[in-house]
Amino acid sequence: MYYSHPCSVCNKIFYTFNDDRYYAADALAAAIKQHLIDYNEDDHETQFDYGEKFNAEYVNQRMTASDAPPSGGYQV
């Protein structure tokens, strides 16, 4: 299953393929947090500032699942 979630600042779609929803959420949350840091947006954004466990749970509740990768997304 493909799981995806957008960046909270630029709305780029990040996705991963995984059989476990929780591992997918961990991977997506970490990738989005790193993306925010790499592009110097982490100081302007507060959605991913509550620690790894909370960030992963937040993504888990809001990510999208599909049978195919999202068009134009960035694979994690």
The tens place of each residue's pLDDT in the chain, 76 residues long, gives: 999 999 988 999 999 999 999 999 999 999 999 998 998 887 777 777 777 888 889 999 999 999 999 999 999 9
pLDDT on residue 75: 96
Residue with token string 């999208």: 64
pLDDT on residue 61: 94
Structural Rg of the chain based on CA atoms: 11
Distance CA 57, CA 41 (A): 21
pLDDT on residue 47: 72
